[in-house]
Structure formats: C-alpha cells, structure tokens
Structure 1
C-alpha cells in the first residue's frame, strides 16, 4: 500500500507516483493488475481526487499505467525501452543534490555507496550494469 507523509517536503502527487512505482518494483503490483480508480485511491489515501488524477496522469505519461475506458486502470505490460537521456540527466542532478546534502550532514561516500547497493538489492534494478554510458 502507498504511504503518504503529509509532513514531507515532497508533493503528495509525487509520493503517489513513487508509491505506485515502488509497489511495482516490490512485485506487489504486476503487469496487467488493476489498480484502484482515481476515486477509490483518493478514498483509500484520504486525498483529493485531483491529486490522484495528477499522479495517474504522470504515470500514464511515463507508460507505467494505462486506463482502458469502461474497464479501469491497469499496470502496463513492460517492454524494453531505450534510456531517456533527459531523464538520466535529471536523475544525475537529483543525485548530485543528495550528495551535497549528505556531505553537509557528514555522511561519507562509503555509507552512501552502501545505501545505493542496499536499494538496488531491495528493488532489483536493471538487469545489467552500465559503466560505459556515463556523460
């Protein structure tokens, strides 16, 4: 189930997007699984339906879910896709910001590397290591 932290600095719709992605990575949601409607999800999470609609729109734009008129919203079948280099650059920027914050609060490089390794182990990540695609 998706966890929403109302005191988080992350907008609620982003938390919903992240929660759905996390559920997929954990295997709680599989390709073809039906997910709650916008209204159902809003009721479950005690959120405004417009917030859920925004999150679902982002997930649809990212080809993670699809809505079938009259049938519902489903986790989309995953197909191999090429990396979106713009997304990769944005992710690198976020990582750089996290590293700066970590160094500021005295979190060392080895600890951060361990966190990344733990997260990759927990979620699986891509089935390949790519050291050659650095920019």
Structure 2
C-alpha cells in the first residue's frame, strides 16, 4: 500500500465514520496536527497509535506497515495554489526576516527546531470575524562554534 493509497483510505474511512481529525487525535491521545500529518504521510507513526488508528478506521492490514514507514520529507517548490496554504506561505514570505530578527535578538544566532516541535491551532470567536490562532512551538538550537 502506497502512502497515497493509505491517505485516500484514511480520508474515506474518516468521512464514512463521521469523524473529525480532533476525534481521531483524541482516540490516539496525540496532537491533532501531528496525527493529521502522519495520516497524510508526512511523519512515521509509532506502532501503538498506528494500531489504534487501524482499528478505529478499520484499515486493511497493509496500512500498519505504511503508517510506520519513515517518510522522505519534501514539498513542492512551486508557490502553493490552495488559498489557505498560500496565505501561510505569504505570511512567512513577508514576515520571515522580521521573525528571524526578533528570534535571534531574543535567543542569539540559531534556529527553531522542527523536530523538537509542536503546532497548536485554535479558534477565537470575534465579532469582527473569527480568528485563526496558530502557535509554532520549537526548541531553540544555537549554532555551534568550534
């Protein structure tokens, strides 16, 4: 079973069972963004949550192996066409150098880890239009000198 076939099977089972990504993540006792990412083939899923997911969604036997495979992490280099993804791309494009400057002013010369990392997404109701809150929480890794 390829990653693409697995993702398709997961989305179909999710839809047929009337589940949300929040429902699935709660069942696995894991973060919703990470679980969704693993279901889309961007992370390998450890055995225990993979077993729970396969059981919950009644996935075929081959799904377990595919869920646990180490992915090659890559993405297209073209500007994203999906409006929501494009806006995130645009925000980093416009504010990226400013974010970098502020992070380095506070922490020093280094990077934010995307390995020791989490993402939380929240909704804030607002009379002027509901707000999307995205929190990127990564460990600071200073550049080494030698």
| TM-score with structure 2 setting the length | 0.28
When normalised by structure 1's length, the TM-score is 0.29
